[in-house]
Amino acid sequence: MYNKMNFCRFTSKIPRNPIGCGFEVDEDQAILIEIPILPASYVNIEDLDSEDLESGLVWFNKKRISYYCNTFPEIPAAISLKTCKHENIGLLVDNYFFPLKPMLNSRFLKPEYKFDYIWLCIKYKVLYNFDHKKKKSNISELVKEFFLSSKDDQLVSDISRLQDNLYIESDILSDQCTKYFDRMLIIEDLKKLHTYKFYIDEPTDTNESTVLGIYQKVKLDEDYQLKYLFESHGKKLHDKQEGAIEKKSVWVLKPKIAQFFISNFFEQFLFSALSDIKGSAIEDYVENYHAQWSNSKDCELDAIVKTSNNIYYVEAKTTLSVRLINEYITKCKKIIRDFEEIDGHLRFLIVGYFSNPELNVFSQTVKKEDLPEGYNKKRTDLHNIPYCFKVPIDNTHDLICFTELSYAKLKSTLTDVFKE
């Protein structure tokens, strides 16, 4: 793994990036390591020679060390340099080990701790691509309120009718839901702009009035540059070219909520659920992890979850489809290649909020006794069917796929998945 991913380079001669402890080395001897500090129990200490050191010969960057552990001794009882055939391997400080060599594929790392060691490398961003810049997001109070409300199953029935992640076709919405939407007209299937949908304010004036005009700034064909000019006439919209079309009123998510919903909503929904089950169903997790493949191309992982014996790579999708499943399978194969050291501990999961109807093709592949309650069939008060199934990645790995709108059900299903 470590020779396939980008790692940090540390040296005690570079004060801007201290590894946590320091002692004299030649200035040109940069130390390539994987993680600055780990429990001494991970290391075959008995295979190493030892040289006791006086505490005054070693300094500790307590602030830096606290990022990795909060139990490092204030005053160490014993410090020793561990060597093998006169080569420095690491520094033993009470129950902690500061490696001075890559440990993963060395004989000094105990095989039974290889899984835990790799998790520490993930958790403490040894594999992280720090060139990636996080997107800044300012979430309004209305968006925060919508996100909290989305965890309440009373809102889920309305939200399950959402189309294009944007609008709901309905005369009425629940009082709880209405404040997050605007009442608008949708105009679609125009002959000259058949790939577009237009949303305009619902006219309140009973008199004839212009509600939408579309003009082409550059003349690209023999047609007029004025493509459409719609007028409101009672229950219809009129245009000279298109003729009369029925008014179609829909509920459209308010702009800030709409942008949040298509870009970030379900990731945050999933992260919140993982946070709630941390300490019970899972031991730990990291979110929005950016690394690099062995070919140096960027790799984004929505979430990486650690259970007692496995690491789950989790993908979040607003609407799960066959195409997205196939794309993630390709990514899973790369992960398997780059984490071959813990192949038996790798698990893969893709979770969606909505289901594309085409997922019904997988519903017959699951044995009834293996199917969680409430999946692969219509659920009361929901207008989108939740699915749950597995698809093969290769001969030894499967991809678990499921969709869930209910926050409570999402947490319970995740709990069941991670306990396997």
Q: How many whole angstroms separate alpha carbon 314 and alpha carbon 418?
A: 11
Instruction: Outline which parts of the chain fall under CATH 3.40.1350.10.
Output: 264-418
Instruction: Reply yes or no on domain 264-418 having CATH 3.40.1350.10.
Output: yes
* pLDDT tens series, the chain, 420 aa: 443 333 222 233 333 334 455 444 444 555 566 788 999 999 999 999 999 998 888 888 888 888 888 899 988 999 999 999 989 999 999 999 999 988 988 999 999 999 999 999 898 887 776 665 666 667 899 999 999 999 998 899 999 999 999 999 998 899 999 999 999 999 999 988 999 999 999 887 667 889 999 998 888 887 888 888 999 988 899 998 889 999 999 999 999 999 999 999 999 999 999 999 999 999 999 999 988 776 667 788 999 999 999 999 999 999 999 999 999 999 999 999 989 999 999 999 999 999 999 999 998 888 888 888 999 999 998 999 999 999 999 999 999 999 999 999 999 999 999 997
- Calculate the CA dihedral of residues 290, 291, 293, 294 and round it to 10 degrees: 170
DSSP bridge pairs for 160: none
Judged by DSSP in three states, 250 sits in: strand
Category of 123 on φ-ψ map: left (φ > 0), alpha (ψ -120 to 50) or beta: alpha
> What is the amino acid identity at position 143?
V
Query: In a 10 Å sphere around its CB, with 0-12 CB exposed, 13-18 middle and 19+ buried, how is residue 270 labelled?
Result: buried
Q: Which two tokens stand for residue 291?
A: 């690394």
Distance of CA 59 to the CA centre of its chain: 38
Q: What is the DSSP letter of 19?
A: -
The pTM score is 0.86
The 10 Å Cβ neighbour count of residue 299 is 18
The 10 Å Cβ neighbour count of residue 11 is 19
